[in-house]
Amino acid sequence: MSHQRRQRNGNNPKEQDFSSIRKVIRGAIRMPREIRPVAEKSQQEAVQITLEEPKSDLENGTNSSRDRELREHRTLCAPLLQAALKGDWKTGEAFLKKNPHCIALPITKEEGTALHNAAATKRTTFVKQLVKLMKPSDLELQTTEGCTALIFAVQSGSVTIAREMVEKNNKLPCIRKDDKMTPLGSAAWCGPRHKKMVSYLLSVTPYEHLTAHERTGLLLGTIHSDMFGMVLVSLNVVD
Protein backbone atom coordinates (compact mmCIF):
# COMPACT_ATOMS: atom_id res chain seq x y z
CA MET A 1 0.00 0.00 0.00
CA SER A 2 2.75 2.44 0.96
CA HIS A 3 4.61 1.60 -2.28
CA GLN A 4 1.50 2.42 -4.35
CA ARG A 5 1.03 5.66 -2.47
CA ARG A 6 4.61 6.73 -3.22
CA GLN A 7 4.07 6.10 -6.94
CA ARG A 8 0.85 8.12 -6.97
CA ASN A 9 2.61 11.00 -5.29
CA GLY A 10 5.40 10.93 -7.87
CA ASN A 11 8.01 9.92 -5.29
CA ASN A 12 9.46 7.00 -7.21
CA PRO A 13 13.23 7.28 -6.47
CA LYS A 14 14.25 5.97 -9.89
CA GLU A 15 12.01 8.44 -11.70
CA GLN A 16 13.32 11.26 -9.52
CA ASP A 17 16.88 10.33 -10.51
CA PHE A 18 16.05 10.51 -14.23
CA SER A 19 14.19 13.77 -13.70
CA SER A 20 17.21 15.26 -11.98
CA ILE A 21 19.51 14.16 -14.79
CA ARG A 22 17.21 15.76 -17.37
CA LYS A 23 17.28 19.05 -15.48
CA VAL A 24 21.06 18.97 -15.18
CA ILE A 25 21.52 18.33 -18.90
CA ARG A 26 19.04 21.04 -19.87
CA GLY A 27 20.68 23.48 -17.51
CA ALA A 28 24.22 22.65 -18.55
CA ILE A 29 23.70 22.89 -22.29
CA ARG A 30 22.64 26.19 -23.77
CA MET A 31 21.23 25.61 -27.22
CA PRO A 32 23.30 27.42 -29.88
CA ARG A 33 21.08 29.82 -31.81
CA GLU A 34 22.10 28.39 -35.17
CA ILE A 35 20.93 24.91 -34.13
CA ARG A 36 17.50 25.98 -32.91
CA PRO A 37 14.60 25.64 -35.35
CA VAL A 38 13.53 29.04 -36.64
CA ALA A 39 9.98 28.32 -35.53
CA GLU A 40 8.42 25.24 -34.05
CA LYS A 41 5.53 24.09 -36.21
CA SER A 42 2.73 21.73 -35.44
CA GLN A 43 2.67 18.43 -37.30
CA GLN A 44 -0.20 19.68 -39.46
CA GLU A 45 1.65 22.87 -40.38
CA ALA A 46 4.85 20.96 -41.10
CA VAL A 47 3.27 18.81 -43.79
CA GLN A 48 0.93 21.43 -45.21
CA ILE A 49 0.56 21.20 -48.96
CA THR A 50 -0.46 24.13 -51.09
CA LEU A 51 -3.07 22.92 -53.55
CA GLU A 52 -3.88 26.24 -55.18
CA GLU A 53 -3.36 26.43 -58.90
CA PRO A 54 -0.11 28.16 -59.94
CA LYS A 55 -0.81 31.68 -61.13
CA SER A 56 -0.79 32.47 -64.81
CA ASP A 57 2.06 34.37 -66.42
CA LEU A 58 -0.17 37.45 -66.61
CA GLU A 59 -0.97 37.28 -62.88
CA ASN A 60 2.66 36.72 -61.98
CA GLY A 61 3.91 39.36 -64.35
CA THR A 62 6.43 36.82 -65.61
CA ASN A 63 6.88 34.53 -68.55
CA SER A 64 8.60 31.74 -66.66
CA SER A 65 8.87 28.50 -68.58
CA ARG A 66 9.05 26.72 -65.22
CA ASP A 67 5.70 28.22 -64.18
CA ARG A 68 4.11 27.13 -67.43
CA GLU A 69 5.57 23.65 -67.08
CA LEU A 70 4.25 23.33 -63.53
CA ARG A 71 0.76 24.41 -64.60
CA GLU A 72 0.82 21.84 -67.36
CA HIS A 73 1.86 19.15 -64.89
CA ARG A 74 -0.90 20.16 -62.48
CA THR A 75 -3.53 20.04 -65.20
CA LEU A 76 -2.39 16.68 -66.50
CA CYS A 77 -1.78 15.09 -63.11
CA ALA A 78 -4.83 16.41 -61.24
CA PRO A 79 -6.41 12.92 -61.05
CA LEU A 80 -3.15 11.48 -59.68
CA LEU A 81 -2.84 14.22 -57.07
CA GLN A 82 -6.38 13.70 -55.85
CA ALA A 83 -5.88 9.94 -55.76
CA ALA A 84 -2.69 10.38 -53.71
CA LEU A 85 -4.41 12.66 -51.20
CA LYS A 86 -7.33 10.25 -50.82
CA GLY A 87 -5.21 7.10 -50.84
CA ASP A 88 -7.15 5.80 -53.83
CA TRP A 89 -4.61 3.45 -55.38
CA LYS A 90 -7.07 1.96 -57.87
CA THR A 91 -7.53 5.36 -59.51
CA GLY A 92 -3.85 6.20 -59.19
CA GLU A 93 -2.75 2.94 -60.77
CA ALA A 94 -5.18 3.35 -63.68
CA PHE A 95 -3.87 6.87 -64.31
CA LEU A 96 -0.22 5.77 -64.23
CA LYS A 97 -0.85 2.95 -66.68
CA LYS A 98 -1.95 5.57 -69.19
CA ASN A 99 0.59 8.19 -68.11
CA PRO A 100 3.66 6.40 -66.71
CA HIS A 101 5.85 9.48 -67.22
CA CYS A 102 3.82 11.32 -64.56
CA ILE A 103 4.98 9.13 -61.70
CA ALA A 104 7.64 11.57 -60.50
CA LEU A 105 6.44 14.89 -61.93
CA PRO A 106 6.18 17.90 -59.57
CA ILE A 107 2.46 18.62 -59.18
CA THR A 108 2.07 21.13 -56.33
CA LYS A 109 3.14 24.72 -55.82
CA GLU A 110 6.04 23.45 -53.69
CA GLU A 111 6.92 21.04 -56.54
CA GLY A 112 5.97 17.98 -54.54
CA THR A 113 5.31 14.73 -56.37
CA ALA A 114 2.48 12.25 -55.87
CA LEU A 115 4.75 10.46 -53.41
CA HIS A 116 5.26 13.62 -51.35
CA ASN A 117 1.51 14.11 -51.11
CA ALA A 118 0.70 10.51 -50.25
CA ALA A 119 3.42 10.47 -47.58
CA ALA A 120 2.24 13.74 -46.05
CA THR A 121 -1.31 12.42 -45.72
CA LYS A 122 -0.14 9.00 -44.45
CA ARG A 123 -1.65 6.98 -47.31
CA THR A 124 0.36 3.86 -46.54
CA THR A 125 -1.03 1.48 -49.17
CA PHE A 126 -0.77 4.11 -51.89
CA VAL A 127 2.85 4.81 -50.95
CA LYS A 128 3.79 1.14 -50.92
CA GLN A 129 2.34 0.52 -54.37
CA LEU A 130 3.73 3.75 -55.81
CA VAL A 131 7.25 3.11 -54.52
CA LYS A 132 7.26 -0.29 -56.23
CA LEU A 133 6.85 1.47 -59.58
CA MET A 134 9.41 4.21 -58.95
CA LYS A 135 13.13 4.23 -59.60
CA PRO A 136 15.31 4.72 -56.50
CA SER A 137 16.42 8.10 -57.84
CA ASP A 138 12.77 9.25 -58.03
CA LEU A 139 12.63 9.14 -54.24
CA GLU A 140 15.45 11.70 -54.06
CA LEU A 141 13.37 14.43 -55.72
CA GLN A 142 13.01 17.50 -53.51
CA THR A 143 10.47 20.27 -53.10
CA THR A 144 11.35 23.95 -53.36
CA GLU A 145 12.41 23.77 -49.69
CA GLY A 146 14.63 20.77 -50.28
CA CYS A 147 12.28 18.19 -48.76
CA THR A 148 12.33 14.64 -50.05
CA ALA A 149 9.21 12.54 -49.61
CA LEU A 150 11.00 10.93 -46.65
CA ILE A 151 10.96 14.27 -44.84
CA PHE A 152 7.19 14.40 -45.33
CA ALA A 153 6.90 10.87 -43.94
CA VAL A 154 9.05 11.86 -40.96
CA GLN A 155 6.91 14.89 -40.19
CA SER A 156 3.71 12.87 -40.51
CA GLY A 157 5.14 10.32 -38.08
CA SER A 158 4.62 7.19 -40.20
CA VAL A 159 7.51 4.81 -39.58
CA THR A 160 5.97 2.28 -41.98
CA ILE A 161 6.07 4.76 -44.85
CA ALA A 162 9.58 5.94 -43.95
CA ARG A 163 10.83 2.35 -43.89
CA GLU A 164 9.25 1.64 -47.28
CA MET A 165 11.17 4.52 -48.82
CA VAL A 166 14.52 3.82 -47.18
CA GLU A 167 14.39 0.17 -48.20
CA LYS A 168 14.00 1.38 -51.79
CA ASN A 169 16.80 3.96 -51.50
CA ASN A 170 19.14 3.88 -48.51
CA LYS A 171 20.66 7.24 -49.46
CA LEU A 172 17.55 9.09 -48.30
CA PRO A 173 18.50 9.44 -44.60
CA CYS A 174 21.53 11.52 -45.63
CA ILE A 175 19.74 13.94 -47.96
CA ARG A 176 19.44 17.30 -46.22
CA LYS A 177 16.75 19.93 -46.57
CA ASP A 178 17.67 23.46 -47.58
CA ASP A 179 18.13 24.27 -43.88
CA LYS A 180 20.81 21.52 -43.75
CA MET A 181 18.64 19.32 -41.52
CA THR A 182 18.72 15.55 -42.02
CA PRO A 183 15.53 13.47 -41.69
CA LEU A 184 16.85 12.24 -38.33
CA GLY A 185 17.51 15.79 -37.18
CA SER A 186 14.00 16.82 -38.24
CA ALA A 187 12.45 13.90 -36.35
CA ALA A 188 14.39 14.74 -33.19
CA TRP A 189 12.74 18.18 -33.04
CA CYS A 190 9.20 16.90 -33.71
CA GLY A 191 8.40 16.00 -30.12
CA PRO A 192 7.89 12.87 -27.99
CA ARG A 193 5.26 11.42 -30.33
CA HIS A 194 8.04 10.87 -32.88
CA LYS A 195 10.11 8.65 -30.60
CA LYS A 196 9.58 5.57 -32.80
CA MET A 197 10.59 7.57 -35.86
CA VAL A 198 13.78 8.77 -34.18
CA SER A 199 14.58 5.22 -33.10
CA TYR A 200 14.09 3.93 -36.65
CA LEU A 201 16.12 6.68 -38.30
CA LEU A 202 18.96 6.17 -35.84
CA SER A 203 19.16 2.59 -37.13
CA VAL A 204 19.45 3.61 -40.80
CA THR A 205 21.43 6.86 -40.65
CA PRO A 206 25.23 6.32 -40.89
CA TYR A 207 26.68 8.23 -37.92
CA GLU A 208 29.93 8.81 -39.78
CA HIS A 209 28.00 10.86 -42.35
CA LEU A 210 26.78 13.31 -39.71
CA THR A 211 28.85 16.39 -39.02
CA ALA A 212 29.77 17.37 -35.46
CA HIS A 213 27.25 20.19 -35.77
CA GLU A 214 24.51 17.74 -36.79
CA ARG A 215 25.36 15.38 -33.94
CA THR A 216 25.11 18.23 -31.46
CA GLY A 217 21.79 19.28 -32.97
CA LEU A 218 20.55 15.70 -32.68
CA LEU A 219 21.47 15.57 -29.00
CA LEU A 220 19.80 18.90 -28.27
CA GLY A 221 16.74 17.97 -30.30
CA THR A 222 16.15 14.78 -28.36
CA ILE A 223 16.58 16.65 -25.08
CA HIS A 224 14.21 19.37 -26.26
CA SER A 225 11.62 16.74 -27.24
CA ASP A 226 12.00 14.94 -23.91
CA MET A 227 13.07 11.66 -25.50
CA PHE A 228 15.55 10.81 -22.80
CA GLY A 229 16.20 7.27 -24.03
CA MET A 230 17.10 8.71 -27.41
CA VAL A 231 19.54 11.11 -25.72
CA LEU A 232 21.55 8.17 -24.44
CA VAL A 233 21.81 6.81 -27.97
CA SER A 234 22.70 10.24 -29.30
CA LEU A 235 25.52 10.60 -26.79
CA ASN A 236 27.24 7.71 -28.51
CA VAL A 237 27.56 9.72 -31.71
CA VAL A 238 28.66 13.04 -30.24
CA ASP A 239 32.41 13.61 -30.24
> In this structure, how many other beta carbons lie within 10 angstroms of the beta carbon of residue 80?
27
Whether 73 is in a domain gets the answer yes
Whether 16 is in a domain gets the answer no
Q: Which of 110, 136, 170 is the last residue of a domain?
A: 170
* Nearest-10 Cα torsion for 198, 200, 203, 206: -60
Statement to judge: residues 214 and 142 lie in one domain: no
Nearest to 166 by CA among 117, 211, 206, 214: 206
Cα–Cα distances in Å, from 103 out to 70, 80, 119?
14, 9, 14
Whether 120 is in a domain gets the answer yes
Statement to judge: residues 160 and 96 lie in one domain: yes
Average pLDDT, the chain: 78
pLDDT digits (tens, 9 = 90+) for 143-195: 999 999 999 999 999 999 999 999 999 999 999 998 889 999 899 888 888 88
Mean pLDDT of 57-73: 68
Cα–Cα distances in Å, from 70 out to 95, 105, 117, 177?
18, 9, 16, 21
pLDDT of residue 4: 45
Whether 48 is in a domain gets the answer no
Statement to judge: residues 164 and 202 lie in one domain: no
Whether 104 is in a domain gets the answer yes
Spatial distance between the Cα atoms of 115 and 137, rounded to a whole number of angstroms: 13
Statement to judge: residues 195 and 144 lie in one domain: no
Statement to judge: residues 109 and 130 lie in one domain: yes
Q: Which of 151, 170, 189 is the last residue of a domain?
A: 170
Domains contained in the chain, number: 2
Statement to judge: residues 83 and 111 lie in one domain: yes
Statement to judge: residues 184 and 96 lie in one domain: no
Whether 148 is in a domain gets the answer yes
Asked if residues 195 and 231 have their Cβ atoms less than 8 Å apart, the reply is: no
Q: Residue 118 contacts by C-beta under 8 Å, 6 or more apart in sequence?
A: 84, 85, 87, 126, 127, 130
Cα–Cα distances in Å, from 96 out to 134, 148, 205, 225?
11, 21, 32, 40
> In this structure, how many other beta carbons lie within 10 angstroms of the beta carbon of residue 19?
13
Statement to judge: residues 202 and 164 lie in one domain: no
Whether 129 is in a domain gets the answer yes
Spatial distance between the Cα atoms of 168 and 36, rounded to a whole number of angstroms: 31
pLDDT digits (tens, 9 = 90+) for 12-56: 544 444 454 454 444 444 444 444 443 344 443 444 455 555 454
Whether 22 is in a domain gets the answer no
Q: Which of 170, 197, 220 is the last residue of a domain?
A: 170
Residue 172, helix vs strand vs coil: helix
Per-residue pLDDT band at 63 (split at 50, 70, 90) = low
Cα 191 to its chain centre, rounded Å, is: 13
Q: Decide if pLDDT at 213 tops 80.
A: yes
| DSSP type of residue 135 | -
Q: What is the CATH number of the domain that holds 145?
A: 1.25.40.20
* Domain carrying residue 145: 65-170
Nearest to 143 by CA among 7, 49, 33: 49
